[in-house]
Amino acid sequence: MKMETTPTPIFAFVLLFLTSSIAAAGAEYFKYKDPKQPLNVRIDDLLSRMTLAEKIGQMAQIERKNASFEVIKNYFIGSVLSEGGSAPAPNASARVWVDMVNEIQKAALSSRLGIPVIYGIDAVHGHGTVYKATIFPHNIGLGATRDPALVKKIGAATALEVRATGIPYTFSPCIAVCRDPRWGRCYESFSEDPKVVQEMTEIIPGLQGDIPKNSLKGVPFVAGKTKIAACAKHYVGDGGTYMGINENNTIIDFHELLSIHMPPYYNAIIKGVSTVMVSYSSWNGVKMHANHFLLTDFLKNKLRFRGFIISDYEGVDRITTPPGINYTFSLQTGILAGIDMIMIPYDYPRYFDSFLELVHKNVIPISRINDAVRRILRVKFTMGLFENPFGDYSLANEIGKQEHRDLAREAVRKSLVLLKNGKTYSEPILPLPKKAKKILVAGSNADNLGYQCGGWTIEWQGLSGNNLTIGTTLLDAIKATVDPSTEVVFSENPDTYFIQSNDFSYAIVAIGEHSYAETFGDSLNLTIAEPGPSTIKNVCEHIKCVVVVISGRPVVIEPYVNIIDAIVAAWLPGTEGRGMTDVLFGDYGFTGKLPRTWFKSVDQLPMNVGDAHYDPLYPFGFGLTTEPVKTSY
Q: Whole-angstrom Cα distance, residue 482 to residue 327?
A: 60
Q: How far apart are CA 409 and CA 424, in angstroms?
A: 30
**Separate counts of helices (H) and strands (E) for the chain:** 21, 17
In three-state form (DSSP H/G/I as H, E/B as E, the rest C), the secondary structure along 30-59 is: CHHHCCCCCHHHHHHHHHHHCCHHHHHHHC
Alpha helical stretches, state H, 123-193: 139-145, 148-163
Task: Give the residue numbers annotated as catalytic, written as ranges.
Answer: 312, 518
* AA letter at 532: G
The CA distance from 485 to 498, in Å, is 22
Give the angle subtended at the CA of 541 by the CAs of 536 and 542, to the nearest 5°: 115
Q: Looking only at Cα atoms, what is the longest distance across the chain?
A: 114
Burial-class residue 443 by CB neighbours within 10 Å (0-12, 13-18, 19+). buried
Q: Which residues pair with 507 in a beta bridge?
A: 440, 545
> In angstroms, rounded to a whole number, what is the distance separating the alpha carbons of residues 482 and 614?
41
Could you give phi then psi for residue 467, rounded to 5 degrees? -110, 15
Helices (H), 589-631: none
Q: Is 490 helix (H, G, I), strand (E, B) or coil?
A: strand
Single-letter amino acid code for the residue at 18: L
Nearest C-alpha neighbor of 35 from the set 389, 275, 303:
389
Q: Of 187, 100, 118, which Cα lies nearest the Cα of 572? A: 187
Please tell me the distance from the alpha carbon of residue 617 to that of residue 244, in angstroms, as a whole number.
Answer: 20
Residue type, 191: S
Residues 379 and 385: their CA atoms lie apart, in Å, by: 9
d(CA 523, CA 185): 11
> Alpha-carbon distance 312 to 282, whole Å?
13
- Determine the Cα–Cα distance for residues 317 and 329; give it in Å rounded to an integer: 9
- On the question of a cis peptide bond just before residue 173, with omega within 30 degrees of 0, the verdict is yes
Q: State the Cα–Cα distance between residues 450 and 28, nearest whole angstrom.
A: 55
Q: Quick check: bond before 322 cis, omega within 30?
A: yes
Scanning 326-401, the segments in alpha helix (DSSP H) are 327-337, 348-360, 366-382
Would you report the helix, strand and coil content of the chain in percent, each value rounded to 5? 40, 15, 45
